[in-house]
Chain A
Amino acid sequence: RYSTGFGRFRWLAEGGAGQDVGRSCILVSIAGKNVMLDCGMHMGFNDDRRFPDFSYITQNGRLTDFLDCVIISHFHLDHCGALPYFSEMVGYDGPIYMTHPTQAICPILLEDYRKIAVDKKGEANFFTSQMIKDCMKKVVAVHLHQTVQVDDELEIKAYYAGHVLGAAMFQIKVGSESVVYTGDYNMTPDRHLGAAWIDKCRPNLLITESTYATTIRDSKRCRERDFLKKVHETVERGGKVLIPVFALGRAQELCILLETFWERMNLKVPIYFSTGLTEKANHYYKLFIPWTNQKIRKTFVQRNMFEFKHIKAFDRAFADNPGPMVVFATPGMLHAGQSLQIFRKWAGNEKNMVIMPGYCVQGTVGHKILSGQRKLEMEGRQVLEVKMQVEYMSFSAHADAKGIMQLVGQAEPESVLLVHGEAKKMEFLKQKIEQELRVSCYMPANGETVTLPTSLSIPVGISLGLLKREMAQGLLPEAKKPRLLHGTLIMKDSNFRLVSSEQALKELGLAEHQLRFTCRVHLHDTRKEQETALRVYSHLKSILKDHCVQHLPDGSVTVESILIQAAAPSEDPGTKVLLVSWTYQDEELGSFLTSLLKKGLPQAPS
């Protein structure tokens, strides 16, 4: 009667091969509220499959009516790339929640992406600049740890997630039911961001990404040393290093790393950063210092870590310059834009090197070369032979298996749902979570629905008088066994109150109905009534040690509130009648007394 259905489902690509890292878009229904988590697009597709199929949400009826809100975890396009399409082209007018840095950066990346798709590739039926602007007007920015009341029942709260500037995990709560969605997160602090953190919020469900479900990465220092060594060796022998990155995120981390290394080694080889976005990007980092890690926050007054001395803006013409150089170019998966152009120029020379610092989605050039392909078919049937060295260094700030386990341990959810990962790896992690943490774990395929039942406690108001009376008695030393609390629950509309029975009667204007019993117990006793009463008194006193037994001046005996009187029926002097009288509230004791007295009184010692 009181438990509420608790369903959720997610979909990625229609008919897709189950779990993958393509894009994130999850629909959660919690206690009657529908929340969409992220609205990502797939980088590997150039057609309709790029965007999620929103007809999964509702076949007929407007999205605005169905969804209570949309939450965006961070600014990566696989988490927010479909947002203008969703809100302006499919049509959604409700609130969209994201953090301040995400709100600042998201439209820039969307515009950038739109330009590549429309202006360079000439795609039609794509969202316009105006649509991005209109879409951003629906955004409500949230602070970390701020509890945002979406409506009277639904509240959301953001937690720090590391990963990229402004990335957040979200807790979605309705009444006592809650879900935590992690988005992408990072459990180890890096050079510019802190580690994800969540309190012991014990959600019913934790939805976590699992990009690196099986990896337990070696120490960060090793990876950094490796990276620097490779870059250094290549430029030493006169080669060029290409590092495809996304404008924000890993780029800043690697820039800080190279900057300090160049400073230390006093290197003169130029480092370039390819897009016009960069300067802007670094500026965002400067303005959102509170979102970075402890060290940068402490030192920014003396020296802002995002002001680089050695790293300069890249010009297209530089790519043909002779001699060594290091170039950061966007985008990160080599699927379009400047990084791909430079790659084509440099791929033929074995002295050069490309370092992929993050994950690449299937179908991208990045993914192809990482999986060992050395002959690439480009547009116009050209074949590009890759002679340059290809290195993969996992610098993307996703939590590894250890980190995911750690977060699950922190939040203590009732169950875990794995998304944003590859099926085989997720299976491994699922077993690990179930065995080590004893938390049930799900890994739905694209378009699959998972329903979780929850049991709900019902909150009601208890009158303070009743509670205090009960708690005071609970403190008494004899109250060893659990005591029962008695009261009446008054349910009026949706207002539930638990009060003492007396108060309930009074409030409702009802009179108490007293039910009383009087039993006649016949005893053989020739003595006077007074003596009989006295014998009854001492008998009961000896048996009922825990009860209050009294002999009143008028000759009657009381046990608690039960009254016993002895009478002598006139017709038979050898018999006495005991009148035992009690109310329904003393039913057990009264019943016990009559059967006890029926057995007769012990012989007086006289």
Chain B
Amino acid sequence: MQSSLSLSVSPNTSLGIHRSNCNAFQSLPLKPINLRFCGLRREVLGFSALKQSDSHRVCLPTRARSKKVVSASLSDNGTPKSFDYDLLIIGAGVGGHGAALHAVEKGLKTAIVEGDVVGGTCVNRGCVPSKALLAVSGRMRELQSEHHLKALGLQVAAAGYDRQGVADHANNLASKIRNNLTNSMKALGVDILTGFGTILGPQKVKVGSSDKVVTAKNIIIATGSVPFVPKGIEVDGKTVITSDHALKLESVPDWIAIVGSGYIGLEFSDVYTALGSEVTFIEALDQLMPGFDPEIGKLAQRVLINPRKIDYHTGVFATKITPAKDGKPVTIELIDAKTKEPKDTLEVDAALIATGRAPFTQGLGLENIKVATQRGFVPVDERMRVIDSNGNLVPHLYCIGDANGKMMLAHAASAQGISVVEQVTGRDHVLNHLSIPAACFTHPEISMVGLTEPQAREKAEKEGFEVSIAKTSFKANTKALAENEGEGLAKLIYRPDNGEILGVHIFGLHAADLIHEASNAIALGTRIQDIKLAVHAHPTLSEVLDELFKSAKVSDHASSSVSDPVAV
């Protein structure tokens, strides 16, 4: 797919089909939908994205929501049957929302079942409120860094904060986004059914405790996840807490232990240390930040851990955590992760359990369709089709997002949902998970897409190709230096033989925003020899990636689809 930059591909074949589809139901033109939350845009979904968007341009103004039932039954290949909906989504988180919006866009009659609040984890107890807290922590950090301010010539009197004010900001943001989400779905005509959804049988779902049964041609499970609490840990919501509680910021303890040093733990360490807490990390693996590219992790540790009021215990499990009571502090018993011998006991003011998330799939009625979960996750194939206990695909049933455990990120769920909608509307689609970026919103941020260096080397060994690494530093970027934020690194992992991008990892100012150039390139199959010719505005942080691509050494015989930059 090296022709991705060329606009001359004519999407005639697919266009014809879509056009006829759309024109058949002319009524109630709706505005194009631009509301996306933590989600991916459909353009990054696959290699043929351009064709697809072309056809959309024709379809968008003529989408309709009447007569959907007819269309659904018509397309059911000769076995006419009436369903309440074309698509029923269980769970109105970011995944469900993304799927619903795309379904409406595709002309499906859609309903979404929500047993709790619209928005799910991301909006209510995850990415969204945590960004509010991190926005505060970033500013606090800047205002507290005398050295940094002095270098800029600024003078600021002592910075302080009002805990309740910070908490309110997070809470207000969550409700605002929640309302936006709800309104966007209502405005498009997505039915929001309140109550927990239980699958009674194929294409049949009970909503809530009432006997209300809804049928749908296709069903998407998008029930998400809840914080995972290992056994032995007693969560009281006050001194031993999960991210759910922490985001309410009901207190800022003097000393908090964070169990787990992944994204969640790291972000909270950023928030807590900026607000004056001291932090102790407890990590089961031998090094902190185990999920990150080792080099990035090392640098991140130098910047995000070592200079801050943080210490850590690695290679240990917290076997028992007892909340504070009767004047006693929170006690944490640590054992060696390998020998299982008791290692230490910590007494702290609070403990945050950030050991990952567990799928929320109980009570879904999966047994009614003979699906057995694996550690709670719903087994699916690469098209998100649910697999039953005999290894067969369950027709018309899909599972997206945290509930299937493929990639536990809000925007991955949304992308998977959109992929499913593509499939049920007649276009085969497989989501390339390696093109889905991830970000950790510390100060500075960490972002990544694709493979880490060890993963790439392993793959290269198996498949017999060469791997090269290119790196650029933020220290040489004008904009970063202007901000006095030169600490950072961008790393490109690629194949020198054909210029394929295998992975990009960024640690530095606004890394989370910078990664999309790389993730889009991977999604669209753009090769380094092509993208290095693209122009970046100067001076911008995006030049870090520009430099990165330019410093990659791709062998001369690798073909390039764009020989000369062409004005279009």
Decide whether A and B are members of one complex. no
Give A contacts to B, CB under 8 Å. none
Q: Interface residues, chain B, CB within 8 Å of chain A?
A: none
